[in-house]
Structure 1
Amino acid sequence: MGLRAAFHIMLNDLRLNIVSPFATILSLVVPINFLFLFVLFAVGGAKVPVSVIASGIGEAYTAGFLHALQSALTFHIHQVSTPSAGQRLIQAHRSVATIQIPHGFSAAVAQAKTASIPLTLNNLNHDFADDVRRAMPLAILNFYHSVFPSSLPFGWREVDTYTHNVTFLGYLSVSIQTVALLIGGLLFGGRGAARDWEIGTMKELMLAPIPPWSVVVGKLAAGMVNGIASAVLVLVVLLLLGLRPLMWGQFIGVTLVTLFVFISLGVAIGSIAKSQFIVTPFAFALGLPLFFISGAFGPISWSTPAAADIARVFPVVYANAAFQHAVHGYWPIDTSPVWLWMILLAWAVLALCVSWFSYRRATMQH
């Protein structure tokens, strides 16, 4: 009896979601919009635009230093012919700095004399200015290492921890799956529970000869169906970006557990608020800060210890780490896989208990 009632409650919620698909559309639009903004951020902010005046470009050492600038992984270079042209780009906010490789640079280097490289820096933006300040010494060091390797009293050899690099955009894109589950789960669970209070069907369910747990189970099941559909659509976007999970089983498992956690919390919020107009802003007010502390931009251990300790309280941190591992093959958190899964499953049990307690408390007040 209870399972049949839960099944019909799920079907009714799915039907209402089709008739009024606001939560479904919103749960898709927000993550995709985040992804679009992050793409623009990653593409536009990857390198610092600078102007380079390479006098004597045909000279060997001048060409070598220009190559060192291009290889510094920091500069997007505009080659100009005069300092005034470089200054115009700075004033037009198309360049952060002008680097001038003067006449006689190659001759000075060949004769082991001091070679001066004038640098005009627009220091209005502290971050971009510091990028230039850090990259210039690196370019000079790489230049000398390439043309005079025996003159340096030391050398270096890079040993990579992983077999491949993960781009900033690749990392951010995987984090989008986390925010889709986070906001989508809160919206699907919360609006589904609140809607019955608004249209009055909750009182009918309370008077019906069905066990109370069947209502909660039906709401959770409907939320899971909607959430899985939303997660699949976001996954399609990731696949179009060339991101394919290396561990499909882990990816699917984390998706289901994370969805269950936030749909359960959404049901609790909807039961308490009893209004969809409260659930929606609350989902964003809770979801967006949790997303930004979840390690969406890099491992949480790279942030301050206090921020990392706060982040570890919430399940999104562990979900995002597991997603990154499933897609990229590396483990970006100082928690073992066993403990990570135990924490996620503990959150699932806790969220289920919270949803049940909130529903029972809301119904006992009527």
Structure 2
Amino acid sequence: MNTPNPSHPPLPPLPPLPTSEQIRRAPKVLLHDHLDGGLRPGTIVDLARAGGYTALPETDPDKLGAWFREAADSGSLERYLETFAHTCAVMQTREALVRVAAECAEDLAADGVVYAEVRYAPEQHLEGGLTLEQVVEAVNEGFRLGERRAKEDGNRIRVGALLTAMRHAARSLEIAELANRYRDLGVVGFDIAGAEAGYPPTRHLDAFEYLKRENNHFTIHAGEAFGLPSIWQALQWCGADRLGHGVRIIDDIHTGEDGSVRLGRLAAYVRDKRVPLEMCPTSNLQTGAATSYREHPIGLLRRLHFRVTVNTDNRLMSGTGMSREFEHLVTAFGYTLDDMQWFTVNAMKSAFIPFDERLAMINEVIKPGYAELKAEWLFRAESAAPPVASDSVRQGG
């Protein structure tokens, strides 16, 4: 029988689950975050007071933050939508948009996000007299300001904007043209959002055809509240580069009693084509797409090697951030730093910036960041291990 060679030191133990501090420090990439869903409660109170907006349900920042989270968890679609009515109401001036965008970049950078694509609908910020162009320029100015402030605080981040058109409105081509006009000036792509049921993406084919002719990038909210037809239309009729949420792709994956897994043709297509899925676990729980983090489809999709990414959706309404999303997944699935890196590289590969810039972020920021965290763990593990005697000592010499 083979016996262990005493001259060889024991292998280090399996890496433990990452701590909250390691998760926060780990470089993260965010592709699905709504600007009007991530305001600081104190900023909402300040902007409401400055703009004469008196309809806030609370004027104490702590109580207001709690109200937003409770409203999002209420199960009432009307109350959930009301939350955005309040945030958009205070985002109607240039100064407000600059402040909100700058704080967004700062907050994400403080949470370890090194690259983010943040989306917003310019058409929802015109009540104060701004033009669509002025809205875009104010938000871009805010993002650049936030990037500079983050750098001063010792954090690095790059933020790109996604311009969103609302599914129920009729301005998608206009917004798509706006996104193309500000391409390379801070806007990296286009999106449509809003209620899926009754408003299929095919209503906006002219916008998508325009973007494809211009070789521009776009993502589509699909497969969140609605099912597989929404995903199929987004991909096959509209040609989406990514799926916003896409969580209902699980409906085309069938698990047998023996544990076997069979992919339907749409699910197989999504995996084979490496279509990025912008999954937002906490938000998906709030909308009923999953009953718990442990039951969230992201676990099976990760095991099946879909191109899954982890995102926040609406940080204010969900009371979340990228670190918190990963903490939930670490608890639910036992994910390690290697898993976190896998999700992060997936996201960076799927970003709407040029290939060489994505590659540089992966090789110069993300991989070195995770390597440093893993090296720290290994050093601690080796330092804590008992000393191993040399061959001469073991042989009595």
The TM-score with structure 2 as length reference comes to 0.25
Larger radius of gyration: 1
The TM-score with structure 1 as length reference comes to 0.26
